[in-house]
Structure 1
Amino acid sequence: MIPAERQSAVAFALRNLLLDDRQPGPWALQVASDFMAGRRQAEALADQARRLETEGGSKNAGANAPTDALFLRTILVCQRPWATEGDLAELRAIHRRLLPGLSEEQILRRSQPDDDASLYPASMLEQGAAAIGQELATERNLASLNRPVFVQRLAHYYDELSYLHPFADCNGMTLRIFLSRLSHDAGWDLDWGRADPITHRRAMQRALRGNIDDMQALIAGMVRPVNPTRIFLIAGWDQGPAH
């Protein structure tokens, strides 16, 4: 990875945790700083994350070990490719990279007596994910859309996936990685640094109640073209990669 890619990966990982009210500790932040400066390679981060999980922490990380390991693994996600099928298998592949120690039985959200009625029934996750994947495929994974249409459709899918809520832990983080991948392949990047936790949480809550206006506004503030020269000089800001 070039220095800019390292910095981008660390910034994304930090923001992704903060949006879920998680904060890496000073030790993990120093490891990330060393990575950005080229003093640590990706293999070293993977090794540190593995040690944090298998040894139950260290004198440096202590009780914050699970969050620190998650932070380091999120930095490395972009270096761990997976099949980009836009389905539950892709979501599980991303989730497995964040929490590799979970058994198959622990990955998906399971039905509980006190299940949140605002979420999709856990017993039907496979069917719900398949329906979302089919809808995405019908829309060609949002490729070649003008910016306003892309924002609208991505907000729709963020809402649908949030309602599906396939994972008991790291669900939001997994979905944001997936949406970032989906957006990039469609010609747009998402700057999650522009989403503060309070605004993000409010948009999610309102979307689950049927109003995605705040979600659209949130995404509109984050979307930027992958190839700005082509967008700005040839197509114009509101036109998509196909123009």
Structure 2
Amino acid sequence: MPSTTWRGGSTPTSSSPGRGLATDLPDGVDPYVDPATGILRNLVGATDRRSLDEAEGALAFARLVQLSDHEAPSTRDLAELCGIHRHLFQDVYDWAGTPRIVDIRKNTPGAEHFLPWSMIERASAFAFDELRADDHLRGMDRTRFVERLAHHFDAINYIHPFREGNGRAQRVLWGRIAEDAGRRLDWRSIDSTTNVAACRAASERQDFEPLLALFDDVVVDAT
């Protein structure tokens, strides 16, 4: 399966998290992190990672059940993904729904960086145009649906527009798209290790087999 053409075959390997910020910030400073606690700045008063994770999970789930087209119109573009992210994480982060301004990568040995932050808008426009050209996955048999879903999922996942919360926002987006195409996505059988490994195989090595297998499990035909 071919990679998306805007990647250009290059992924940053030494970008500092603070690159591209105001020049008075020292290299390596992450503006999303509270220097006093070492964790992400947040609205819930959490001062350690466990407390933040617990609050974030509970509050994002509560917002998920309230989500509708009013909070995040189904425009099938970066604006929709930002709207979803804003709604889910509005109680936790003041930057919810706003694309990141630092370069990031998974905190896993050997992981490559996601798309440079300066390319997010341009790459998103390209990726969503590709999705639109596929009629948002409508009218496809199951095999084709899984193949194209894996392709488009990889493209958006590589962009990783936000400092945190990308996976949950993306699952909502792809759930909407699948439902409009007459299918649904059931992620309950997929653990984090399997998900990360499949995403890294596709993004870093262009090996889509694990991601195809993942979506073969996740995709459920509507009844």
Same fold (TM over 0.5): yes
1:65 CA displacement: 2.8
Counterpart pick for 1:145 among 140, 145, 152: 140
- Tell me how large the CA RMSD over aligned residues is: 2.8
Q: Which amino acid in 1 is paired with 2:217? A: G
* Gapped regions of structure 1 (runs ≥ 5): 1-52, 229-243
Distance in 1 of aligned mates of 2:169 and 2:96: 18
CA 1:86/1:120 → structure 2, altered by over 3 Å: closer, same or farther? Answer: same
The one of 175, 189, 197 aligned to 1:194 = 189
Q: Aligned match of 2:90 in 83, 100, 112?
A: 100
* Larger relative helix fraction: 1
For the 8 Å contact 2:98–2:162, the answer to whether it is kept is yes
Name stretches of at least 5 consecutive residues in structure 2 with no aligned partner: 1-41
Corresponding residue SS for 2:188: helix
Separation of aligned partners in 2, 1:111 and 1:65:
24
Closer, same or farther: CA 107–134 of 1 in aligned 2, 3 Å: same
User: In 1, distance between residues paired with 2:137 and 2:105?
Assistant: 36
Q: Distance in 2 between matches of 1:114 and 1:129?
A: 18
Deviation of 1:103 (Å) = 4.2
Retained in 2: the 8 A contact 1:190–1:223? yes
Aligned letter for 1:119? F
Task: Using the TM superposition, give the Cα deviation of residue 110 of structure 1 relative to its aligned residue in structure 2, in angstroms.
Answer: 1.2
Partner of 2:101: 110
Correspondences of 1:47-66 after superposition (within 5 Å): 56=45, 64-66=54-56
Asked if 2 retains the 8 angstrom alpha-carbon contact of 1:159 and 1:212, the reply is no
Answer yes or no: is 1:163 the counterpart of 2:158: yes
- Whether the aligned pair in 2 keeps the contact of 1:56 and 1:65 (CA below 8 Å) is no
In 1, distance between residues paired with 2:151 and 2:58? 32
Give the partner amino acid of 1:133: F
Counterpart residue number, 1:129 = 124
In 2 relative to 1, CA 126–113 (structure 1 residues): closer, same or farther, beyond 3 Å?
A: closer
Q: Contact 2:154–2:202 at 8 Å: present in 1 too? A: yes
Give identity over the alignment, percent.
30
